[in-house]
Every structure is written in structure tokens, then in C-alpha cells.
Structure 1
Amino acid sequence: MEVRRTTVRDMRRSNRSVILTCIYREGPLSRQELTVRTSLSAASVSNLVAELIAEGVVEEAGSVESEGGRPRVLLRVAQEFRYVAGAEVGETRVRVELFDLAMNVLARADHPISSPTPAEVVKHVLEGLSSVVAASGVRTERILGLGVAVSGVVEDNAVVDAQTLGWDAVPLAAMLAEGTEIPVHVDNGANMLGQAEMWFGAGRGATDAVVALVGSGVGSALVAGGSSYRGARSSAGEWGHMTIEYGGRRCRCGALGCLEAYVGAEGVLDRYRLAGGSADGDEEAAFVEVLEAASSGVEPAATVVSDTIGYLAAGFANLVNLVNPERIVLGGWAGLLLGEQYLDELRAEVGKHALRRPYEQVSIVLCELGRDAVALGAATLPVVRLLRDGGAVR
């Protein structure tokens, strides 16, 4: 086997990547702070920062007083150096957003969908991309890439298998690439929520965490040792399809007893209707209606919601026992609605099912970035490429 030797150019690019990633994830930072955090020499930091500033990737962002010396100049990634787009493919809606590198939203487009077929999804993602580009006035060549978050297992950042949607080896990235010159990246929606929360939200500072997405369906992102854990073929984190009841309710994936069949919004509403309840409107409006009835003690809503918290707690307890996270972050639109009302009860119920010591070591919190964090997370996919390449634009 041929062994590739590391060249001086490789080392320089790697060091640029380390510096740029540190500035982006932890900045604004001074050159002195970069020297400490990256373990590079002061001369290397100074030279590479000078390159990044000259190329427009990094800019100065004010200064702070230092002890007994001159003020230290702070550095940040130049937010208008390039732009990134992110798309969330839901079961009833496609949302596309355009961001600068500070992840400020510049434009947004929403397209309702009645049937999330691959062709329909591609059509609406491309339409949304055209809309946000036109609304923002940003030139296409200045957009680093489009990140797309979807349900299911995504292999090689391109091919999607989503049993609940009936997708089998769909080459989504290639289908989208046929309609745009902007580079396309595809990943799982729960992983993108996790990346957003770990970078900018409730997961910051944690090295071992689970970010749980509860919406129509259920998924999770696993973080171990500060890095995303994907498993052998990128399917790790399908927590919604953990068996919670042997021989139980049939899940949308076809299996019996999956957690998703009990705590996903679709499953909750189905259990409510089977218990004799009636909820009108779209899925989210009906879910809110059930929660409001439950908070007033109205049956069968009160029992269904109480059981839902119990099932969700059991699912969290399994995570606590299995992966020993320091933090569990609950997100997704249905997860946030449940957590806003029942977080204390949920924490207490987890304690009834989890091993005592790992439970004492975990904190259970809500996502901080709101319901639209999936599109934000998707937009970080081209940012990851920029950081990895040390600011080089392909």
C-alpha cells in the first residue's frame, strides 16, 4: 500500500484549519489566546492569521485590555466572506434559509408539501433556494454550499434511505445537483439539529451528549468525546426506533413497539384518537390542542400526555444507561412543546428508570435555538468544509 507523505503545504493547511476552527467555534479570540488554545507557536499563529486576514476570511473585531500591556486585538471569521444555505425537509414543509458566516438569517422560504416524494422534495428545495438567493441579492458564486437535512439514514452525504417516507437508496444529492451550481451536502435531520445545538446552543461545552429530536417522528444525534458518533454506516442515533414495548404498536417504519410510535406527534395523536379523543386542524395544531386539554385535566388527553411523558422518560433512561451522556438536549417542535410544560416531570420520571449514578451525572435541558434549528444545522455542512480546508474556497 502506498503511504502518502505529509508535505509542508499539508501542515500549513492543517494549522490554518485549526486556527480558523478555533476562531469560528470559540471566538472572538486574540492571537495570544489562539496560541494557548491551539498549542501552535506565537510566530505560526501570527503568520497564518495575517494570511487569513489578507484573504478576507478573518477580520479584526475590536480589542480588550490586557494586564500591563497593549490592548489585545480580537479576531473573528468575516461574516460576509461567503454565505451558506440550509434546508430542512419535513413531512409537511420544506424550509430553506440563507445565512452569512455569523449564521444570521438573510432570507427564508417555506413551501408546504402534501407528499414528501423525492421529486417533490427536490422541486421545493430548489425553488426555495432560488427564492432566498433572489431575496437576499447574494451572488450565487459567493454561496459556499447548500446543506439539506432529511429524515432517515444518509450514506456518503448523498444517498438517503428513509423507511418512514418510503425512500429506498434515493440519490438526493445528485438529484439536487442537477438543478443548481451550488455544492450540495445532505445529512440526517436529527444530526443537523445536534450539530446546531452543539455549536451554538444548549450543547456547547459538553463532550458527551445526546440531542433528541421529537417531531412527527423521533431521532437523535450522539456526541462522544466531542465528536459526532455515526456508527459503521451512518445510521447510529435512530433512537426513535428503539423498541420500547415488545410486540407493541406498529411504527411507521414497519416494526412493532418503537419509541416513535408512542412519543412522535403522529403516534401521540393516533393514541389520543383511539382513546376517543378528537383533535382538529393540522398535526401541530392538533398536538397543541391535546396538550391544552391535558393541562386542564380533560380526558383522554390527560392520560395520553401523562403516558407520553412516561414513554419519553423511559427512552431517555435507556440513553442514560447505554451511553452515559453528561447532557441530554430535547428539541424538535413536539419535544419543545412537551418540554416547556413537563420538563420537571420528565426529569423525575427518567430518574425512576435510569441507573442511579449515571442519572446523577446527566442534565436534561431544552434546545436553545428554537424550532428552526434543523435548517441552521444543515447550513453548517458547507461551513465544516470551509473550516476543514483552512479557509480555502473551491
Structure 2
Amino acid sequence: MSSDATPDPYANPLVFGQRMQILRERKGMTRAVLGGLLGKSVDWVKDMERGRMQPPGIDMVYRIAQALRVRDLSDLTGRPDVHVDLFIGPGHPRLASVRAAVDTLQIGIPTGPPPRTAHLKARLASAWAARHSAPDHRDRIGALLPDLICDAQLAVQLAVQPTEWRAAQAVLAEVYSLSQFFLSYQPDSSLLWRVAERSMVAAQQSANPHSIGVSTWLLAQAHRDTGPDHYDAADQITQQTLDYLTPLLPDASDDVLAIAGALTFEAGYTAARRGDTADAWRYWDVAKGMAERLPASYYHPVTSFSQAIMGAHAVTVAVELHSGHESVRQAARADADIIPSRPRRARHRIEQARGYQLDRQPEAAIATLAQAHAAAPETIRYNGYARAIILEEVESKVADRRRRASELAVKVGLLAA
């Protein structure tokens, strides 16, 4: 081996411990917090970081990676042959056709009548409705997206009048937004970024406040989920769009007020990821006030922002702040049944399960993930946090918990039947 080659942390405990310490300190996490997440003492963390112990088994390595929000297992192990993205799910069977539609160039002068914007809006509304109501929501929207993408691109290309062109751009931006929901947590990050950026460009061309807000909301999430180095970018684009929308709010439609509320909560979400408790709850409180200005029955078709979602958002803030007790307390207050969207309800159940796991209630975590699966199997199948909890409990020493986790692992495709 070359003298400057990366040492194998499994052969050298100190190398593994150094990586673990660097990643922990980058997150601003104390040894006490990391130990609490792992069910270990401060001394255990300290001894591991200083190379006084042999590196743990793969199950604990996986748990450490999850606690430190390491996206790729090789970042922790230093082994390029252990290249596992912890937040990427399996590729959907319809991924190839969606990718082909995104990558297709409309070159030359098309023949035939242009797609009507009103018709595209109606198809888009049906697609959003299918996403919220169907347990196999990825499959449903994956079937609709290829034609929607091509027709929306064509509508922009064939638009004659400026107002018609801007309206077509607004529809195209939202079609790309719908595509991001399909592409999230799938093994094609570059395609997700292409779609996010195209959505933002189309929204800006449309000069439509709602389209701009939706595209920003998703682009900010893409930045935040890429890791701590991109938190500032997420904050910047969120704040810029809020600065643009705020003067419009006194006379805004419910949809524009809702997207401003959703962006406000996103700022709190990013603050929670940073560990900034005060800002996280401050933004949540402001967003809650904005939700209360909306009709009680209102539900935003893209972001789910509404009065019904604020309880779920509170659980997310507590979980991201790694407060197990507060997560469970907020989960007890939040009513999942009032969330009309099946995938959003499933995601809320996953966040609740994360809270139970933080609070060392693994039985409740597995039971709650089973509820998530019942609501929307395709949500839990592609969610890295849910997959991590299930895999952890598959190794449980408690027979009944191990059995239930294994049954769930089979259902979500983590283990063979």
C-alpha cells in the first residue's frame, strides 16, 4: 500500500475515531448528545474517538452515521468500497421514462395545435390529487409525468403572446415541482437538481408569485438535504423569496399566503438542522400564525401547508433538534388523521417514529412505522430515516420487536420474503 493511502479504519481504530470526532464536531454536536442518540455513555464516545476501542460492528457504524447525518457511509468509514448513500431509496420502475421526458429536447418547429394552458392546469390538478390520495403515489404520478413534461415544454415553445408565454412557464414550473416529488430519494441526484433548477428558471420567467414560491420551497429543500455546507444557500433563497412575497401578503390569495407560510416554516426547519432551537421554534410560531389566517379547510396542494399540518411540523422541529421527549410530547398533540394527504400523513408517522426512537421507545417507533406503511407504502419505501430505524430493530435482541421489524422490512423491500 502507498504510504499516503487512506488507512482502513476497520484495521486502525484511531482513524475511525478521528473521522467520527471530525464529523461530530462539524455538526456542533457534543459527546453527550451523540452518546444519548446511540444509547452510549460520554466515556464510550470519547474512547471510540481516541482509538481506545476497536471500531464497532456494521450495525453500530450505521447508527453512528445516522446520528451524525452522514449521507454516505464512506465518509465515516473512509472506505471507498463502502459507498452507501443512507438517504437514497430504490429506483422506481418509472424513473427511466420520467428521466427520458426531462432530457428530451424540443428542437425545430412543432406541428399541430399547442397544448392549451387551461387543459394542462386541469391535468396537473388531477396529478396532484392522485399524489395526495393514492397509496402508490409515486407510481401514479410517474405514469402521468412524461406526457405532462413534454406537453408543458411544448406549450412554452409555441406560446405567441407574452401573457400566454408567462402562463405556460408557470405551469411548466409546477410540472417540474411535481417531478421533484417523484424523484426525491431516488438514485439520480443529478436529475433531481436539473429539475429543481429548471423549475426555478421557469417560475422566474412566469413572474407568478405562487410559482416562484413553490419552486423556491423545493430548491431550498434540495440545498438543505445536500448537507450542512448548503444550509446558507437554503437560507438565502428562502429569505430572498420571503422578502419578495411579504409586501404582497395583505391582498394575497390563500395560495400565495400558504406558500409564504410554507417558506417560513422551511427557514425554521433549516434552523433546527443547525441545532438553533430559538430560531427553529420562532419560525414555527410565525408560520403557525400564517396558517391561522387561512380557512380551516384549506390545504395547499403542493406543500401541504395548512392549519392541519402545523402539529406535524412541530414534531419535525423537535426531531431535528434531537429532543426525544419533546418529539413525543408534540406527537401526542398532533392529530395525524386530519392530514388529508396520504403521503404527507405517512411522512408525519415517520417523523413520529423518529421521535419515539430518540426517546428510546423502539416498540412505539416500529408500530408507528407500520401505520406509515398502511397510509402510503411508497413513502416509507423511499424514506432513509424509516429504513434506518427498521434495519436497526431487525437486529434487536427482543424477539417480538425483531419479528415485527423484520415483517416491516420485507414489506418495504429491505429484506427478501
Question: Which is helix-richer, 1 or 2?
Answer: 2
User: Under a length normalisation based on structure 1, what TM-score does the superposition of the two structures give?
Assistant: 0.29
Instruction: With a CA cutoff of 8 Å and minimum separation of 6, indicate the structure with the bigger relative contact order.
Output: 1
User: Under a length normalisation based on structure 2, what TM-score does the superposition of the two structures give?
Assistant: 0.28
Question: Which is strand-richer, 1 or 2?
Answer: 1
